[in-house]
Amino acid sequence: MALAASLFLRQNQSLVMTPQLMQSIQLLQMTHVELTQFIEQEVEKNPLLEIAAGEDGRGVDDPFTGDDAPHAENAGSEDGFQPDLYDNATTGSAGSAPETLDGGLDNVFPDDTGPRAADAPELLGQWKSMPGGEDGEGYDLDDFVASRKTLRDVLNEQIPFVLTDAIDRLIAQHLVDQLDEAGYFQGSVAETAEKLGKPAADIGRVLSRLQELDPPGVFARTLSECLSIQLRALDRLDPAMAVLVDNLELLARRDFATLKKLCGVGEEDLLDMLAEIRKLDPKPGTRYETSASEAVVPDIIVRAAPDGSWQVELNPDTLPRVLVNRDYYAAVSSRTSRDSADYGFLNECLQTANWLTRSLDQRARTIMKVASEIVRQQDGFLMHGVDHLRPLNLKTIAEAIGMHESTVSRVTSNKYMLTPRGLFELKYFFTVSIGSAEGGDSHSAESVRHRIRTMIARETPDAVLSDDDIVDALHKGGVELARRTVAKYREAMNIPSSVQRRREKRALAKASGG
């Protein structure tokens, strides 16, 4: 066969991941904070995008503020699809619950104890008579909350009483700046001495004086030093206790036989020493105010409906409301030549804006569908607690709502659901199945772990359950589980063996005087 160049026509099908499709997939797994940051970046780049901000957080011209808003039953359909708006999939139902809500988050935790404005006009009048009350920009209740003292504040109040020299106080301030939130000194004496141009002995002397401050254990460099400082303040740092504190790695391994030899004490004395160690604070700085922690905001809210079913809605606080300014587009495009680069840029901005609003809308619908199906599957958990948590996997949810497992996995990542039983990550509801001893319904691995944890928590020093005892107890409760699986679950929950638990419970009982 002769070698020659030739042309062929061929047709084939392939899945092409466009940048828009890839970004739509990324939107699904974004958290509320990440999504907000992404939208703010898009608004800065696109002059046609706006974040709607009405008096209640809704858009001024939002048509979906009444009873015409779509619900979960039409999620995924293209009917009534609004590319310019992202607020048409906020409420839905699991089962036969009503499709409309009387009010957003105000109905989740109703305050029936306080008077309403309509019932107490005199209170409303008093509030409006206060400065700034009429325009809504008056007092913020957070301004009247007494702030807790930080560790730095507590230490700075004590330093003048233990250090009278001005140079020593300056050194002390540098050392305070090198404390972590737990109260441990994370700096280096040598580096601090070099930075301040002082001898290392002076830095060490000041550090030793600072270790006498409250809370006991502050300015320690290691856990052993922290415990030693507290024991010294209690006048309990005898030679045996000092050896125990210096060998915390043996205590972590619960190698009590070696500890008894090193400390030169018997079992009863060692139990007494362990009881004293348990009374100490390994992180003395955490009792004071530290950096502000960010609260988890639920993406889905579940509450009981009047008919006994569950009402599922998206949290409006996590729904960014993006609008496309078509008036601005029409005004600018009418004054721009169709052959100019500005017109091309404007059209590209319009396409990007429409894509973003459609993607956000579809994201809300997808989250709503997945959450509604999870609520339907885990109705027993919501009604009776973790013992009734059903085995569930991604495939079951994906088949029920007609989506791919990867899509469900992305939706359930870093998303939280607020239920009458607390706040849970969506991943919490997916657990493996464990067979039943009587051949009945299988059990959720999480509910079995909860049973094991509950049984161990109810132990007494004289009746500590072994893994075999736990297996027998679970079998009587209808759960078929092997001993090695019980041991695996116990170790995953950081629960020691029965021998170690018996020693620890005896130490606790002795410490409490029992």
Q: Which of 350, 386, 351, 390 is nearest to 373 (CA)?
A: 390
In single-letter form, the type of residue at position 136 comes to G
Residue 371: the pLDDT is 93
Using left for φ > 0, alpha for ψ between -120 and 50, and beta otherwise, residue 461 falls in alpha
Axis crossing angle, helix 32-45 with helix 341-377, rounded to the nearest 10: 170
Instruction: Tell me the longest C-alpha to C-alpha distance in the chain.
Output: 101
State both tokens at 252.
């972590």
Q: Which of 436, 437, 472 is nearest to 452 (CA)?
A: 472
Residue 82: the pLDDT is 37
Q: Which of 447, 446, 467 is nearest to 456 (CA)?
A: 467
Axis crossing angle, helix 394-401 with helix 405-412, rounded to the nearest 10: 110
User: In the chain, what is the straight-line distance between the N-terminal and C-terminal CA atoms, in Å?
Assistant: 97
State both tokens at 421.
């039983």
Cis before residue 19, ω within 30 degrees of 0? no
Q: Are 163 and 209 in contact (CB under 8 A)?
A: yes
Residue 56: the pLDDT is 43
Residue 510: the pLDDT is 65
For residues 200 and 16, give the distance between their C-alpha atoms in angstroms, rounded to a whole number.
65
For residues 204 and 215, give the distance between their C-alpha atoms in angstroms, rounded to a whole number.
19
State both tokens at 137.
């920009």
State both tokens at 183.
């109260």
Low-confidence ranges of the chain (pLDDT < 50): 55-91, 95-134, 136, 514
The H or E element that residue 312 is part of is strand 310-314
